[in-house]
Amino acid sequence: MMRDFKRNILVTGGAGFIGSHVVRLLVKKYPDYRIVNLDKLTYAGNPANLTDIAKAENYVFERGDICDFDLVKRIMLQYGVDGIIHLAAESHVDRSITDPFVFARTNIMGTLSLLEAAKQTWISSKGGFDGKRFYHISTDEVYGALEMNIPGDKAPYGTEFFTETTRYNPHSPYSASKASSDHFVRAYHDTYGLPTVISNCSNNYGPNQFPEKLIPLFISNICKGQNLPVYGRGENVRDWLYVEDHANAIDLIFHEGRVGQTYNIGGCNEWKNIDLIKTLIATTDRLLGRKKGYSDKLISYVTDRAGHDLRYAIDATKLSVELGWKPSVTFEEGLERTVRWYLDNQSWIDNILSGEYRKFCSED
């Protein structure tokens, strides 16, 4: 006999980097919730990210594509889904430049598939939309780029920040696809009354991040004495958010955020890429027992990425004032935890770099 749960939450992309941290948090924090993880297991999805909760009584894994409308609707009906936390997305900017069609399909059409399945399922359910919620996780990249301060200004990088009312101005196929998905979510709220909420977050870092991203890639290269390629002169500025802080913000917004609203999530933690890389080198070398500056020679400068935005910076005041959220981990502490995790989990990285993990994943 199937157990009754207080809530049945569908998390999409729950085997990925951010998604796995969200799934783990929800499974452990809410034993009276059933957490259904829908993940296609493309190259960035890894079942090893969730081995510690894989056999939990309140956890279910469904392998599938969010673009498969019939599958999504079947899952919603089978498990009585009353909440969706939508993280599944293609997210690597470089990949979007070489293959934008994949990003449009997953990020736009996949989101539309989920929205329509939620609308059809919930509108005909007992109570209709009451007690339901569709939460869409997006990115700060939809806002475009911010100006940098000129030398001598008081603020280190700039006085402008992205707010929830900043005009959309995406510059890459990735950010354009996420902007489009955001618009669809808002349209479903305005047109059909679907109870939606959106958050736009800054760059995440932490354990389990796929090693095509800057921090895990450079940790791996530092360990192996390999080249550290820096776009342009490394002057681009990003706001960095520890992934567990992001997961806690998602939990809070899902439960307490106002329907129809958008919340920006940021780390209040801006770094120039080159300064971040030098700090990462120093931390990794120290934990490896190397002398200071040992791996500085690995830095090289390469042609800048097409459409590379200069600066992103999040104003998370709304989230702080309305819901009381703030980052709990300093960047120095988060970076230390992150480097230690990668050094202590070399087998996880090796399985990815060798392709061994893909025996559990799709072939596309």
Q: Which residues are catalytic?
A: 140-141, 174
Provide φ and ψ at 7, rounded to 5°.
-140, 155
CA max distance for the chain: 69
For residue 43, count CB atoms less than 10 angstroms from its CB and return exposed for 0-12, middle for 13-18, buried for 19 or more: middle
DSSP-derived 3-state class of residue 192: helix
Provide φ and ψ at 84, rounded to 5°.
-125, 130
Given a contact cutoff of 8 angstroms between Cβ atoms, the answer to whether 23 and 36 are in contact is no
Helix 273-287, helix 331-344: angle, nearest 10:
50
Q: Per-residue b/e over 208-247, b at no fewer than 16 CB within 10 Å?
A: bbbbebbbbbbbbbbbeeeebebbeebbbbbbbbbbbbbb
For residue 111, give both structure tokens: 């989101």
DSSP of 204-268: EESTT--TTSHHHHHHHHHHHT--EEEETTS--EEEEEEHHHHHHHHHHHHHHSPTT-EEEE--S
Strand 262-265 and strand 299-302: pairing? unpaired
Given a contact cutoff of 8 angstroms between Cβ atoms, the answer to whether 47 and 41 are in contact is yes
DSSP of 166-188: PPP---SHHHHHHHHHHHHHHHH
DSSP 8-state secondary structure symbol assigned to residue 149: P
Q: How far apart are CA 227 and CA 301, in angstroms?
A: 10
For residue 17, give both structure tokens: 């980097």
Helix 214-224, helix 346-354: angle, nearest 10:
100
